Structure 1
Amino acid sequence: MSVEILNESGEVPSPVPEQELADLGRHVLQELRVHPLAELTITLVDEGAMAALHERWMDLPGPTDVMSFPMDELRPGGEDEELAEGVLGDVVLCPAVARRQAAAAGHAVGDELLLLSTHGILHLLGFDHAEPAQEREMFDLQRTLLLTFLAARGRTTTAAPEAGRA
């Protein structure tokens, strides 16, 4: 799986190591049985760039924490299902917004960015949280994916599964 990380936020070093974001992306895609040749890009941007994207694509003012831009409409695979390869799409994160959310929630900005990345990838795969049942499914899966990723690294998180409601 190809996971590219672009840090255009101006924050050097990034609040979460780029390798960790890439590893998380691969973990989520593997766990959801996405084709091994699928491509994903995670981009970190500043508040001005995120506000411009938010206004252009969602017609909402100001920056948000995460946005997802699907490309080839790839979906999670089933047990005996032939997987489609292609470009999954782009997840765009705003570390400045994530930093404020993390501070308000009482956890690390890196954990917030990992949670938001997981959330964004799930949106790329067709998950949504518009309805209560969809929200439960998406946020349960989001939490499970993040916790299994961190457990494999000997870490835990205090980031709540409700984060990333974009």
Structure 2
Amino acid sequence: MGKVKVMITNNQTEVKIPVGIRLLVRRCCHAVLEYEGHNDDFEVSVSFVNDEQIHELNREHRNIDRSTDVLSFPLGENGDFDMNHETGAYLLGDIVISLETAYRQAEIYGHSLEREIGFLTVHSMLHLLGYDHEESNLQERIMREKEEAILGNLGISRDATFLGEHEHR
């Protein structure tokens, strides 16, 4: 398994980031690449934002005028990724998580913020690798199965109450 460099930035002040969240995000990114059988080095950027910031990004990049829980900005296409020639690592892209929404969803569905952020990170990493649930039910089912398997490998259990913005949870 190659190395995964995860650059995490906190751009919000509304939600205090619990101890261990940064490590959890790194573990989730690593687990997705391991599960998918990637042996190269990768870099991924993860930003924590508030609802207002993610609303603006959603409107700007997707023409959807509301906040959401997570956005994925892949740099690769069809399994081809640009390389950081200084490090030799492939650039996967950016994950943007609204901690306000993640916190609300965790409360609504009765699980921890850690579990919510774990799901959002795994879900978004699969998007960065090219998976998409917008186009077909089959792709959605494949993503859901992979998410469940990866979170299970990490010891982050899921159950029927594990729902939220992404209805396919």
1:61 maps to which residue? Answer: 65
1:69 & 1:125 partners in 2: Cα distance? 10
1:128 & 1:110 partners in 2: Cα distance? 24
Please tell me the root mean square deviation across aligned C-alpha atoms, in Å: 2.5
Q: Quick one: structure 1 residues 106 and 19, their matched pair in 2 at CA, closer, same or farther if it must change by over 3 Å?
A: same
Structure 1, unpaired ranges of 5+: 77-83
Moved over 6 A (4+): none
1:66 & 1:165 partners in 2: Cα distance? 13
Q: Quick one: structure 1 residues 10 and 35, their matched pair in 2 at CA, closer, same or farther if it must change by over 3 Å?
A: farther
Deviation at 1:72, TM superposition (A): 2.4
| Equivalent residues in 2 for 1:117-156, closer than 5 Å | 117-130=121-134, 131-150=136-155, 156=157
Per-residue Cα deviation, 1:25-56 (whole angstroms, up to 9, x for no partner): 11211221224311111111111111110110
Work out whether 1:100 is the aligned partner of 2:104. Answer: yes
2:115 & 2:51 partners in 1: Cα distance? 19
1:34 & 1:74 partners in 2: Cα distance? 14
User: Could you tell me which amino acid in structure 2 is paired with residue 14 of structure 1?
Assistant: I
Using the aligned pairs only, state the percent identity: 28
Give the structure-1-normalised TM-score: 0.82
2:98 & 2:157 partners in 1: Cα distance? 22
Structure 2, unpaired ranges of 5+: 81-87
1:128 & 1:140 partners in 2: Cα distance? 13
| Equivalent residues in 2 for 1:12-161, closer than 5 Å | 13-15=16-18, 17-73=21-77, 75=79, 86-130=90-134, 131-150=136-155, 156-158=157-159, 160=162
Deviation at 1:103, TM superposition (A): 1.7
Deviation at 1:96, TM superposition (A): 0.6
Work out whether 1:2 is the aligned partner of 2:5. Answer: yes
1:95 & 1:12 partners in 2: Cα distance? 6
Per-residue Cα deviation, 1:55-74 (whole angstroms, up to 9, x for no partner): 10111112100000001236
Deviation at 1:104, TM superposition (A): 1.8
The answer (yes or no) to whether the contact 2:6–2:46 under 8 Å persists in 1 is yes
1:161 & 1:143 partners in 2: Cα distance? 13
2:13 & 2:38 partners in 1: Cα distance? 31
Q: Quick one: structure 1 residues 92 and 122, their matched pair in 2 at CA, closer, same or farther if it must change by over 3 Å?
A: same
